[in-house]
Structure 1
C-alpha cells in the first residue's frame, strides 16, 4: 500500500482564555469551524468580493486551499471535497464563563501544513469574534504542537481490536445515513478506507495503489463480536444560517474481529483523520484499544 511513513499530519492543541461567556451548542466543532472560516476569509481574501465564485485568484488563494478546496482536474472524487484539517472539540462544560480556560485540537495535513502563520492568525481573530448563539469571545493563549507526524504501525495487526467512538460517526450506505442497528464492521472499515484514500489522493497527490475491489471484499468478512451502538441526535450551530441545525450520528464501541492486516495502517491513520462524513468539524473521531479498558 502506497502510504508515506511517517504520514505527514500534525495535531496542534489550541489554548484559549474566555473573555466573554461562551454557550456552546451540544456539539461545538461546527461553531469553531464557522468562526474560523469567516476569520480566514477576511485575512486571506485579496479582492474583497462578497463571493468566491468567479474569482480569478481562486487557484492561488490560501482561503480556497484551506477552507473550500476543489479536486484537481481528472482526479477521482469522493463526494464533497474534504478540507485539509480536522477540528477536534474539547470535552468541557457547555457554558464557559469569563476567566475560564478552554482548549481543542486541530489536525492539519496537505495545504494546511504550508500556512502555519495564517492559521494561527485566523484562530486568534476567530476566537475573539462572536462565538455561538450568545456571541461569546475568547483570547488565544497559544498553539502547542502535540504530534508532528503519524508513524505507521510496525508490528503485525492483531486479530481483534476495540473501536471506541469518541464523537458521533456519520456513515451513509446507498445514499442513506446509517442508524445504530444498521452499522456493520464493513461499513465502519470502508468509511476509514475511503477517508484515508481521499486525503492521500486529493491532498497528498498520492494514490493508495491498492485493489479496492479486493479490499472491499475483505472488509465484508470482518465483524463486530461485541457492539454497543446508539443513535445520537444533536444540534450544531450554523454561523452562516445564524441558527441551530439538526445532525445525527452513531456513538458506542465494538470489538472488531477478523483479518485486519490489509486495513491496519489505514485504521491507525483514521485516528488522526477520522471516519465518515462531516469529519472537518470533528465527527467520526475514534481510538483503537487492543485491551478492554
Structure 2
C-alpha cells in the first residue's frame, strides 16, 4: 500500500455569525443538511426533483460528492450504497450559544476526486451559511478556510477579503508507526455507532474485531471508489485476521443525541459510544494496524460518519 500522498484533505472553515444563535448538542446533521441542499442547488443542471434517473447522475458534482452512485457491478459484491467522499466535522459536543460577531469553526474532509471540487464546495458553504442555520435560520458569513496538514498545522487557502483559492498539496502522508508500540488508544470524541445486522452495539457488545473490520472496510471503499486505489481492499481480510491477536480495554459510555429529519419530518434519536478504547497486541501486529487506525482519524468510522460521527484521535503507548 502507498502510504504517502494519499488523496485526502482536511479543511478548517471559520464563519462569523450575523445574529445570536444556539447550536444543538451535536451540529453534524444540521451542517450536513444545509450543505447538501446548497450543493445540490448550485450543482444541479437538470432541476429534476430527485437524482434517480437523471442522465447526468454519474458525472454531476453533487452526486459525486454528496450522494455517491454505486457501480453496476463489483468483484466483491453488488453495492446498494457506497461511502461518500466527504466528512463534515462539527464543533465539539455540547449545545453552544454564540453572540452576533462570534465565530463558528468546523472542519470538512474531502477524499479522492472530491478535492478537485473544492471551489464548488466552498461556494456551496457560503450559500448554506448565508441562508442560515437552525430552525431560526440564523445566517453566518464564511470568513476563512485553512488546509490542515498531517502535523495539524493550518495553512490559509481562502479568505473572504481575498477570494482566490490558493494552491496547496491537498494530500496526506501516513507517518511510520512509532517504535516499540505496546498499545494504541482511541480517544473517541464524537458518537461512534458500530452496528451489527442493522442494530447499534452498546459498549458491552463491542470488540476489537468489530472496530477493525468496520474501519478497514470503510477506508478501503473510500480509497477504491473515490481514488481508484484497489490495493487497500485486498488487505481487509488480513486486518480482520489480525484482530484476533488484539486485546481491548473499553472505558466507554453511550451518548444519545436528537436531530430533526427534514426528509421524515420528525425528531430522531441517534447515539454512539464516547470515551477511551485501548487496543493491545504484539508490536508487529499494532504496526500493521497503525495505517488503518491513523487514517480513521480523517475518515471516521461507523454509521453516519459523513456527519462527523465516529471521530477519534489516536495515541501510541510505548
TM-score, normalised by the number of residues in structure 2 = 0.85
Query: 1:1-293 alignment to 2 at 5 Å?
Result: 2-75=1-74, 76=76, 80-91=81-92, 93-147=95-149, 148-155=170-177, 158-207=181-230, 208=232, 210-224=234-248, 226-258=249-281, 259-291=285-317
Structure 2 CA distance, aligned partners of 1:78 and 1:287? 30
Shift in CA distance, 78/20, structure 1 to aligned 2, threshold 3 Å? farther
Seen in structure 2, the aligned counterparts of structure 1 residues 218 and 140 have a Cα distance that, compared at 3 Å, is same
Q: Residues of 1 paired with 2:143 and 2:212: CA distance? A: 37
Asked if structure 2 preserves the Cα contact closer than 8 Å seen for 1:132 and 1:237, the reply is: no
Moved more, 71-80 or 195-204: 71-80
Which structure has the higher relative contact order (CA within 8 Å, separation 6+)? 1
Whole-angstrom distance in 2 between the partners of 1:155 and 1:290: 9
Structure 1 gap ranges (5+): none
- The question of whether the paired residues in 2 share the 8 Å contact of 1:34 and 1:240 is answered with no
The CA deviation at 1:81 is 2.0
Structure 1 contact 21–137 (Cα < 8 Å) conserved? no
Over aligned residues, Cα RMSD in angstroms? 2.0
In 2, Cα distance between equivalents of 1:185 and 1:3: 25
For residues 74 and 139 of structure 1, do their structure 2 counterparts lie closer, same or farther at Cα, with a shift above 3 Å needed? same
Moved more, 262-271 or 2-11: 2-11
Please report how far the alpha carbon of residue 83 of structure 1 lies from its aligned counterpart in structure 2 after TM superposition.
1.3
Report the count of equivalent residues: 290
SS at match of 2:253: strand
SS of aligned partner of 1:231: strand
Q: Deviations over 1:190-226 (max 9, x none)?
A: 22111111112211122225354343222122121x3
Residues 61-105 of structure 1 show CA distances to partners (whole Å, capped at 9, x for unaligned) of 111111111122323466632211111111275222222111101
Whether the aligned pair in 1 keeps the contact of 2:23 and 2:96 (CA below 8 Å) is yes
C-alpha distance in structure 1 between counterparts of 2:46 and 2:238, whole Å: 48
Cα distance in 2 for residues equivalent to 1:261 and 1:86: 26
Instruction: Provide TM-score, normalisation by structure 1.
Output: 0.92
For structure 2, list consecutive stretches of 5 or more residues without a partner in the other structure. 150-169
Tell me which residue corresponds to 2:166: none
Q: In 2 relative to 1, CA 213–119 (structure 1 residues): closer, same or farther, beyond 3 Å? A: closer
Write the deviation string for residues 265-293 of structure 1: whole angstroms up to 9, x where unpaired: 1111111111112110100111111259x
Equivalent residue of 1:111, what SS? helix
Q: 1:188 to 1:209 in 2, by over 3 A?
A: closer
